[in-house]
């Protein structure tokens, strides 16, 4: 496995750097992310709901969506929604 296979895009997302998949500093901005058991698995419904809620908060808008309820609905309907 090459060194590139063990790296992923920086979570900061604005520096265009890469960081080790298992956690560690970005090679460009130095941001350090350690593996966390409190974070949802990438690509899970909880991860998507967390991302959508953070995007809504960044926009400063009044987010009327209950992202936790949305996540539960997606899990219960196998992603088909209402």
The stretch 10-21 carries a mean pLDDT of: 75
User: Domains of the chain: which residue ranges?
Assistant: 3-33, 45-76
Q: For position 21, what pLDDT does the model report?
A: 74
| The two structure tokens encoding residue 12 | 């900061």
Of 47 and 11, more confident: 47
**pLDDT, mean of residues 7-29:** 77
Q: Which long-range contacts (CB under 8 A, 24 or more apart) does 46-52 make?
A: 46/71, 48/74, 49/74
- Render pLDDT for 42-82 as a digit per residue (tens, 0 to 9): 778 888 888 888 776 666 655 677 888 888 888 888 887 65
Q: What CA dihedral angle connects 36, 21, 25 and 43, to 10 degrees?
A: -60
Say whether pLDDT at 1 is over 50. no
Per-residue confidence (pLDDT) for residue 12, from 0 to 100:
64
Lowest mean pLDDT of 11-15, 27-31, 33-37, 52-56, name the range: 33-37
């Amino acid at each position: 496995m090459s060194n590139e296979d063990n790296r992923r895009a920086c979570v900061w997302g604005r520096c265009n750097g890469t960081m080790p998949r298992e956690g560690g500093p970005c090679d460009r901005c130095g941001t350090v992310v350690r593996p966390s058991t409190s974070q949802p698995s990438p690509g899970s419904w909880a991860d998507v709901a967390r991302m959508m809620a953070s995007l809504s908060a960044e926009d400063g808008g009044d987010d009327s969506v209950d992202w936790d309820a949305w996540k539960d609905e997606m899990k219960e309907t196998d992603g088909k929604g209402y």
